[in-house]
Chains A and B, each alone.
Chain A
Amino acid sequence: MLASEKSKKDRKTRAKIVTLLMVILSLMLLAKLYVLQIRSSEKYSLMSDKNRIRLSPVLPKRGRIITSDGKIVAGSVHRYKLVMDYCSDKTFGEDLNLLDMCLKLSDPEKQRIIEARSRARPHMSFVIKEGLSWEEYASVSMNLFKFNNLSLETVYVRNYTMPLEFSHVIGYTGKSDDAIQILTGKNGVEAFLNDQLIGTIGSLQTEVNALAKKMRITDFVEPENGADMVLTLDSEIQKYVYDLISEEKAGACVVLDILNGEIVAMASVPGFDANLVSNKMTPRQWKSIVADQLFPLINRAAVCVYPPGSVFKIVVAFAALSEGVIAPGDRISCFGGVKQDDRVFHCWNRNGHGSLDVCGALSWSCDCFFFEVARRLGIEKIVKYAKKFGFGSKIGIELPNEGAGLLPTKSWKFLRYGTIWKPYETMIVGIGQGALLSTLLQTAVMIGKIYTSDYNFTPTMIKGKKKEWAAAPIDPKPLETIKKALRQVCLCGTASRSCNADYGISGKTGSSQVRKIKTEEAGVSQKKFDWKFRDHAFFVGCAPHNAPRYVVAVLIEHGGGGGAVAAPIARKVFDKLMESQR
């Protein structure tokens, strides 16, 4: 009995040990449950959401660019895109076979799709084909229900209706560098006004299952389309101007309306096909654009810089009159050349112009007269007035990477070359040559400043964004003389043969040398030189005479004489402007 009691007790103890073990294990379970569900709950909730929530951007429609006469020069058209969701090998194979039946894929195309799949980020969809033709779209969309993972998406691409004429002004677009790949302006107004044009990106939040199949939409933020932008440019004038310049190899033209500071036309020849550059192009097409010796991607109107040549004499004459270096009636004799620093500097007319006052010197563009005036002024004073007329710094036009030009000074030369400024260099700058560089736009703005009598005149390209500036009146007395001289240029001066119009054009020709002329070449016709050694032909002018409104600046790259080449083109532009009388 005693033994039985003892064994009973022993059994009870053993049962208690087993029970205790179970209690410990249960507490372990509860502790772990507490850790998972309460202490680390936040972390696991995030991981759970990360498993199932997919966020994809919804791209907005890019704003249009419209000209002042209402023509949509840059718009968006939709294209169809084939997208495949992340999927297993089996369903991918089925879809590929089905796609082959719909589109008749070639082997390299199939290979490309397989590669695209292997490159795609895990659990993310990838693009199979962009820019489907209508037949392809119809064929796929009819069979869309048969596909496991395929979807058709609409994307917007940029469409330019006047791609060549407006290529430099509007620029082009490309996909952004980030993962969203939204259309982004890469040059021209597209780049400058990108923030307004681009709109706001929306988002689509979907719930996916373990196989990355979309189950339902959990959130949708609608994209906000970009704002339309209206330019001051006139499509008709722009096209006319572009076609005119296109008769030459390369050149540019800027037309300003000084009454409201609007740019009416800004063309650069040769243009490039903005549609091609903006959308997908083959490497060969790109190569042909880049390798073109005429550099079609360069904007010759506002980015590229040239020596302004005789056009700059306006600034020098104005400076001389303002500083009292010469009086309006003072005469200087031209004998066809001037000797300075043991060198002879020739006038373009080697026979000499004889005795000329400032009006005569401007109208015949006498170099000797301005050699002398520049010598008297000194480089500092020339630079001071050139700055006032907008040379040497950016105008502030709505374009990225606008050219600033260059105003050479003594300190600039020392810093740049480490040599001392020589007196003859002042003389050369006096006729707009030497190290002096400016954009065509800067010369046009200079004329605009003269005819608005306002140093702060600044043109704009965007409608309704007229720039406000405090008027800085130009001293009227020397200005009158200059205006008279510019009128004379077209009446009886260098541009008299082409610019003697009824409505009255005032202007200045320019032929800027691109190299030193050797003695034996003196008087040889420009047309006998190689194209790239010919002078740049300039004409800047304003019309009509009694109520100045339009400024036209023409540049024909390596065109030859300004009076013979650029002025007739400017005349045609003026005629067109007068005829349309916007």
Chain B
Amino acid sequence: MRIGVPKSRFFFPDEFKILFFIVFCLLAVSFLGQYSAFNGEFNGFVQKHLIRIAAGLIIMLLAYLVAFSVWSNFAYVFYAFALLSLIVVSILGSIKSGAQRWIDFHLFTFQPSELMKLALILALAKYYSLLSSFETREPKNHIFPFILTLLPSVLVLKQPDLGTAGILFCVGVCMIFLSGFPLKIFGALIVGGLSLCPFGWFFLYDYQKKRILSFLNPDYDPLGAGYHVLQSKIAIGSGHIFGRGFLKGTQSKLNFLPEKNTDFIFTTIAEEIGFIGAFFIILLFCALTIYFFWVASEARRPFPWLLCHGLGVLLFLHVFVNIAMVMGIIPTVGIPLPFLSYGGSSLITFMISCGLVMSALSHRKIAHKRVKN
């Protein structure tokens, strides 16, 4: 086990340039988007966001510089720590009434569910990397990873944070599927799970029910639950091909658009830069996901292979759920848009993801060199 930075790891392979380009573009959009969402003022919030971007970049490099084996070796430790903080949060939440998703350290707030996303992927990748391909065909070997997935999902659902819980669960299921879970049983479980969905209605909170109702019928409550999405659709739609122009979006500047910095940041940007800009942003996210998958396909070992796939799925699910939500394809769930939404936890999660993917790629390079040598 090596902890530290070997000399040979300071190099940046050419393939990194693509990643840097995509991430740089996204961070630039992020800064300009937040600047615009704060009504074109370079105020404290925008400065804070800029600092977070810088911090994120450093954390990405740190994550890259940590020896790749550390992630593999400490995967379960991370998982245990994340699960523990989730439990702490839910206990704190039951003490204070209402939603509790953060731990306040006074200097910064910490969101265990964000940490859990990475920890779950690492733990699952670790688990399956120890299984032989023969063993993965046994359904009983998938029970433990399923429990690993279900535990945090339920805890997060209790916060209550339906969106994050759903994403954790989907990422977990996706990874179980990728690792070779028998196809037939998987198909049967999916069908069975979907048929049980209607019963889930009774476990939903009132505000969640309202959101689903107003999604199915936008006229259900146009000034209440449906208001956010309606205003978001108006903003996106009024953008047309070229948008209303930077800092000229009326829906966001006149506050018709709620949550314009966080969950609805895509709307804020799409209103101002139009179809062409919004298309480009979606393309950037797709490119990043494909880059993650490409790195996975380059991997020689199961751990980085599964890790990169998991991170790609995590990234894409966030992008899809958020953008689909602001365009009214799916009901309202509070999922931030990676890199672009205001807030530190999400940004850092995805910066670490990038660092991990870089690390996985360079690890492959070293492996190559060793083979050559």
Contact = CB atoms under 8 A, between A and B. Distances in A.
Interface residues of B, number: 43
Interface stretch (A21-29, A286-294, A402-410, A473-481): A21-29
Given A36-B233, A47-B238, A51-B256, A11 B327 contact: no
A111 interface: no
A29 B319 CA distance: 10
B286 A33 contact: no
Contact of A215 (B235, B240, B254, B323): B254
B327 A51 contact: no
Contacts of A43: 237
Given A15-B296, A37-B274, A25 B254 contact: no
B236 A30 contact: no
Contact of A37 (B136, B237, B329): B237
Interface residues of A, number: 40
Contacts of B136: 7
A415 interface: no
Nearest to B230: A47
A208 interface: yes
Given A34-B275, A37-B270, A48-B238, A14 B178 contact: yes
Contacts, number: 125
A3 B180 CA distance: 13
A10 B180 CA distance: 7
A260 B180 CA distance: 110
| A17, A29, A45 interface centre (most CB from chain B within 10 Å) | A29
B342 interface: no
A210 B236 contact: no
A209 B329 CA distance: 27
A44 B324 CA distance: 18
Interface in B287-336: 289, 293, 296-297, 305, 309, 313, 316, 320, 323-324, 327-329
Contacts of A209: 254-256
B250 A52 contact: yes
B133 A4 contact: yes
Interface in A31-61: 32-34, 36-38, 40-41, 43-45, 47-48, 51-52
B87 interface: no
A471 to B, nearest CB: 68
Contacts of B26: none
A321 to B, nearest CB: 83
Interface string B231-245: 101111111110000
Given A10-B180, A45-B240, A51 B234 contact: yes
B42 interface: no
Contacts of B275: 33-34, 37-38
A3 B137 CA distance: 12
A48 B234 contact: yes
A160 B312 CA distance: 81
B29 to A, nearest CB: 16
Contacts of A44: 233-238
- Residue of B234, B275, B278, B282 with highest tally of chain A CB at under 10 A: B234
A47 B234 contact: yes
A3 B279 contact: no
Interface string B247-279: 000110011100000000000001000110011
A18 interface: yes
A3 B320 CA distance: 36
B339 to A, nearest CB: 16
B243 to A, nearest CB: 9
A37 B133 contact: no
B134 A26 contact: no
Contacts of B180: 7, 10-11, 14
22 contacts: A3-B134, A7-B134, A7-B180, A10-B133, A15-B178, A18-B309, A26-B282, A29-B327, A33-B270, A33-B279, A36-B233, A37-B240, A38-B275, A44-B236, A47-B234, A48-B250, A52-B254, A52-B256, A209-B256, A210-B254, A210-B256, A211-B255
Closest 5 CB pairs of A and B: A44-B237, A7-B133, A48-B238, A209-B254, A37-B275
